[in-house]
C-alpha cells in the first residue's frame, strides 16, 4: 500500500478500525488496488458494525419492527447508517429498500410515512433517494422522487422541509440532504434526461451554502447554530460543517474563499496527536455505541483527512 507519509500515524490507526473505516481509508486516503478496496467493502456485511446491524434485522426486512421511528433504531435510520458505512447491497438490504419505498411512496412523487401528512416530505424523500441509489436499487419511482425534489426547491435555491408549513428561507439541514441525494442519483444515472437539471440544482444548493460560509447567518455573519460547528457521527438528518465539506470533497467542487472559515475551524479541531474527536451525538435510542463523545474518532479523523487532502491539493 502507498500510505502518504504525512498521514502515516493516522492511517495506521484508521486501518486498525472497523471494516467500514478500513474500506473508506483504503479507497480515499491510501488509494489501494481496486481488488483490495472491493474485498474490504465486502467485509462490511460480514464483520464488525455492519454485521452487528444486519444480525439485528428482522426476518421480514425491518429493524425495530418500525419504518421511520423510533430514532435511531428504525429501518430508515439503520439503512442510512449502513449507507454511510459504504456497505454494498445484498438481499437483506434490498428487502429493506423495497419496504421503505413501498411504505412511503406518495402520489406526488415524494415519500410520506405519516397518515396525517398530505404530501411527500422533502427530508425523508432526499435521504431515501440517497440510500436507494447507493444500494443500486432499481425502480422507476426513483426518477419521480428526483422530480419531486426539483420542484420543491425554494426561491433562494435551497430546500426546507418546512416549506409547506410556511417557511420562507431554506434550511441547512434539508439543503445538504437534498444535495447528497441528487449526487447519489447523478452517480447512479450519469447520463439521463434529468442529468443537466440535477447538476444545476446541486450547483445552486452549493451556492446557497457558500453564501452562508457553511455555518453562518447570511445577514449578521454570526454562527447560525453552534451545533453546526461540532463534529458528529453519524449526522442522521442534521447538518454540520464536516458533513458539508465531505460532500464538497467527494464532488471535487472548485475551492472557494467562502469555505475558508469552515476549513480553518476544522483544522483547529485537530488534536496535538493529529486526530479529531467525536464532539457531539444526537440523543435517541441506539442499538450500540461505535464511538464515545470526547474521545478520538476514527470517523471524524477519516473525514477530516480526506477533506484536507482535497483542500490542499
Q: Are 144 and 132 in contact, with CB atoms under 8 Å apart? A: no
pTM for the full predicted model: 0.97
Confidence of residue 311 (pLDDT cuts 50, 70, 90): very high
Q: How far apart are CA 277 and CA 275, in angstroms?
A: 7
pLDDT at 3: 60
Q: What average pLDDT is seen over the chain?
A: 96
Q: What is the pLDDT of residues 54-64, one digit of tens each?
A: 999 999 999 99
pLDDT at 6: 80
pLDDT at 4: 65
**Cell numbers for 104:** 412511503
pLDDT at 1: 53
- The fraction of the chain above a pLDDT of 90, given in percent, is 95
Confidence of residue 40 (pLDDT cuts 50, 70, 90): very high
Q: What is the pLDDT of residues 62-92, one digit of tens each?
A: 999 999 999 999 999 999 999 999 999 999 9
Q: What is the pLDDT of residues 209-257, one digit of tens each?
A: 999 999 999 889 999 999 999 999 999 999 999 999 999 999 999 999 9
Confidence of residue 189 (pLDDT cuts 50, 70, 90): very high
Confidence of residue 164 (pLDDT cuts 50, 70, 90): confident
How crowded is the C-beta side of 193, counted as CA atoms within 13 Å? 4
> Which 3 state secondary structure label does DSSP give 232?
strand
User: How many residues belong to the chain?
Assistant: 313
Amino acid at each position: 500500500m502507498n500510505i502518504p507519509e504525512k498521514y502515516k500515524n493516522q492511517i495506521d490507526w484508521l486501518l486498525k478500525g472497523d471494516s467500514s473505516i478500513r474500506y473508506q481509508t483504503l479507497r480515499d486516503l491510501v488509494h489501494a488496488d481496486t481488488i483490495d478496496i472491493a474485498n474490504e467493502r465486502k467485509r462490511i456485511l460480514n464483520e464488525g458494525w455492519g454485521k452487528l446491524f444486519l444480525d439485528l434485522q428482522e426476518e421480514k426486512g425491518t429493524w425495530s419492527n418500525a419504518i421511520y421511528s423510533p430514532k435511531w433504531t428504525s429501518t430508515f435510520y439503520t439503512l442510512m447508517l449502513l449507507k454511510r458505512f459504504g456497505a454494498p447491497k445484498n438481499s437483506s438490504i434490498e428487502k429493506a429498500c423495497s419496504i421503505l419505498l413501498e411504505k412511503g411512496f406518495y402520489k406526488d412523487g415524494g415519500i410520506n410515512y405519516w397518515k396525517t401528512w398530505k404530501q411527500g416530505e422533502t427530508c425523508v424523500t432526499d435521504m431515501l433517494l440517497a440510500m436507494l441509489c447507493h444500494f443500486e436499487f432499481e425502480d422507476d419511482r426513483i426518477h419521480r422522487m428526483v422530480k419531486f425534489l426539483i420542484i420543491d426547491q425554494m426561491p433562494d435555491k435551497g430546500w426546507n422541509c418546512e416549506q409547506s408549513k410556511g417557511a420562507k428561507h431554506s434550511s441547512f439541514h434539508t439543503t445538504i440532504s437534498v444535495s447528497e441525494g441528487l449526487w447519489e442519483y447523478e452517480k447512479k444515472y450519469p447520463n439521463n434526461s434529468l442529468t443537466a437539471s440535477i447538476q444545476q440544482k446541486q450547483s445552486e444548493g452549493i451556492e446557497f451554502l457558500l453564501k452562508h460560509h457553511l455555518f453562518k447567518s447570511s445577514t449578521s455573519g454570526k454562527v447560525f447554530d453552534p451545533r453546526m460547528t461540532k463534529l458528529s457521527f453519524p449526522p442522521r438528518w442534521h447538518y454540520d460543517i464536516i458533513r458539508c465539506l465531505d460532500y464538497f470533497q467527494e464532488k471535487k467542487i472548485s475551492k472557494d474563499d467562502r469555505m475558508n472559515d469552515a476549513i480553518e475551524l476544522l483544522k483547529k479541531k485537530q488534536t496535538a496527536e493529529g486526530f479529531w474527536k467525536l464532539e457531539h451525538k444526537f440523543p435517541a435510542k441506539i442499538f450500540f455505541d461505535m464511538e464515545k463523545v470526547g474521545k478520538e474518532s476514527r470517523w471524524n479523523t477519516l473525514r477530516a483527512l480526506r477533506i484536507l487532502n482535497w483542500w490542499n491539493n
